[in-house]
Chain A
Amino acid sequence: MAMEQDTGNDLSFQNLGMVYEARTGSVAALDGFSFDVRANEFITIVGPSGCGKSTLLQVTSGLQAPTSGKALLNGRSITGPSPDKAMVFQSFSLFPWKPVKQNIEFGLRVSGMSRAERDELVDYYIGVTGLTGFENHYPRQLSGGMQQRVAIARALAMRPRVLLMDEPFAALDAMNRTLMQEELVRIWSEHKPTVLFITHSVEEAVYMADKVLVMTKRPGRLKCTIDINAEIGCAHWRTQPIDEVLLVPKFQELRHRVWEEVRAEIEVNA
């Protein structure tokens, strides 16, 4: 708790840089990315393809160490994966040979939690994510939307302080995608972990976020931040259905603004 007072921030990125050494030469994916995330904030990140968004999450999750700068969680340098950071992958990345329940409890089992405690948590999140009745199904027996629910349940079951989501709905069809967006907001609001959510959809970004971060083209830096909460000024629209929010003039204006920012970065490339 004392740590939290250090910065008042949950996550802090300080001049983060990442250079990949590949056979074809070195690629600078991130260069001088700085941003502070407060606890319980829902952050969405947009930017051109290849600008280092996934790299940013890899560093935050502890899967990769940055080549320069620092990523801090709760004031401490991130040195590797830990149970307080959970990730939902674009490709779902479920273990095909494990049934739903075993997929969800994977992280809890690794952390050494007793079976009874695990069962309780897993059952709870199976209910929350609408997977009741599918506990013993294998991932391949589920639709894409259901598979992503499993991946979300697997992450939420860790009760992480930080929830990292890398284009989690990109592989879903439009209808499933809308449903999942609304449900994610509902599930998130129960415990409000800090969220970093990468997306290609400007609409999705503006609908869910407290703040939208726009990144520059590669090597990725923070281009600008749009504080959705401050812009709205009253209750956030993410508690309402998307099709209604789409009609709100302020929503349309912000969507346009974010899109213009992203487009400028894409067109510099062209």
Chain B
Amino acid sequence: MSGSFFTLSRFALVFAAWLFGWWAITWVLNVNPTFLPPPTTVFERLATMATVSMGDGTLIVHILGSLKRFATGFALAVIIGIPLGFAMGYFKPINKLVTPIFEAIRPIPPIAWAPFAILWFGLNVGAQAFVILLAAMPPIIINAQLAIRMTDGRLIDAARVFGAGPLRVLAEVALPSSIPLVFTGLRIGVANGWMALIAAELVAGDGSSTGLGYLILQGQRTLNADLSIAAMIVIGVIGALLDVSLNRLNRYFQGWTAQT
């Protein structure tokens, strides 16, 4: 406990030192705040964002707007990706059928699809969700597939000896043992998807004036660099929170599957 306390306080200390460095640079060099505002201005901005409306609303409106787009794309990635990965891992013909197209698409950066996404879905949440889907799904598919392939052969044998057929082996052996790796895929997927969301908001705005990406753009357009930086900080914090909550969920499931 004391170990983690010291690690944490050292981390805070180093972090504070960097903040001080940032502040010192802006102060000593007298940097123009439209170029790089001091951290104090950014923190003031963070404090006022919660109550002062920008574009379509206060900070919470923008956060919820971004989360809605993210959730739409990510949910689709999970709904399609996990079953597809499982199927690819368990049924060789499906794997052979899907892998070539999957491998062909995977190296293309998701944001490169933005113009197509707008063409197909119009300037709305669909286009952004599509980009997020493309970013989040590959790691989800790969890990789900790997999880099934890595199922302990000895457990499969045990299930078969006691009469289990292929579907029962899938449901009662392969699926439960896949949970840790599936979560690994989900965590990478969340990180990819969240990054892609901001990119999508920057290049494929849905016409509304909401979203954390919108706030960054707004800061640029109005020469309020502090707004852009504040929005970036919120993006980072939410990204980290998403990862932490998924990790919590993972631990809960692992406790449930007695892997601890």
Contacts and interface: CB of A to CB of B under 8 A. Distances in A.
A81 interface: yes
A89 interface: yes
Interface stretch (A9-17, A133-141, A172-180, A224-232): A133-141
Nearest to A58: B157
Contacts of B157: 63, 89, 93
B161 A141 contact: no
A88 B160 CA distance: 13
Interface in B160-175: 160-164, 168, 172-173
Q: How large is the interface on A (under 10, 10 to 19, 20 to 34, 35 or more residues)?
A: 20 to 34
Interface string A117-154: 00000000000000000000011110000000000001
Contacts of B40: none
A95 interface: yes
B155 to A, nearest CB: 6
Interface stretch (A38-46, A104-112, A202-210): A104-112
Which of A62, A95, A99 gathers the greatest number of chain B CB atoms within 10 Å?
A: A95
A61 B162 CA distance: 10
Task: Classify the secondary structure of B's interface with A.
Answer: helix
Given A95-B172, A110-B168, A81 B160 contact: yes
B176 interface: yes
A87 B177 contact: no
B191 interface: no
Interface in B137-172: 152, 154-155, 157-164, 168, 172
A189 B158 CA distance: 24
A96 B161 contact: no
A139 B258 contact: yes
A107 B158 CA distance: 10
Given A95-B155, A139-B258, A140-B258, A85 B161 contact: yes
A111 B165 CA distance: 11
Nearest to B168: A110
Contacts of A196: none
Nearest to A87: B161
Contacts of A198: none
A83 interface: yes
Nearest to B163: A110
B258 A106 contact: no
Interface in A16-66: 61-63
B260 interface: yes
A141 B154 contact: no
Contacts of A61: 161
A111 B163 contact: yes
A78 interface: no
Chain A interface SS verdict (over half): loop
Contacts of A79: none
Interface footprint category on B: 20 to 34
B2 interface: no
A165 interface: no
Given A81-B161, A110-B164, A89 B176 contact: no
Nearest to A164: B161
A81 B177 contact: no
Contact of A154 (B155, B162, B260): B162
A181 interface: no
Contacts of B160: 63, 81
A107 B161 CA distance: 8
A142 to B, nearest CB: 11
B208 interface: no
A91 B260 CA distance: 18
A148 to B, nearest CB: 13
Contact of A107 (B155, B162, B173, B260): B162
Given A140-B260, A141-B258, A95 B161 contact: no
Contacts of A89: 154, 157-158
Nearest to A106: B162
B162 A158 contact: yes
Given A89-B154, A93-B154, A63 B161 contact: yes
A212 interface: no
B22 to A, nearest CB: 48
Given A93-B152, A107-B163, 6 more contacts: A86-B161, A89-B157, A95-B172, A96-B257, A97-B176, A140-B260
28 contacts: A62-B161, A63-B160, A63-B161, A81-B160, A81-B161, A86-B161, A89-B157, A89-B158, A91-B154, A93-B152, A93-B155, A93-B158, A95-B158, A95-B173, A95-B176, A96-B177, A96-B258, A96-B259, A97-B177, A97-B259, A106-B159, A107-B161, A107-B162, A110-B168, A111-B163, A140-B258, A140-B259, A154-B162
Which 8 A-B residue pairings sit nearest by Cβ, starting from the closest?
Answer: A138-B258, A107-B162, A97-B257, A93-B158, A110-B163, A97-B176, A87-B161, A93-B154
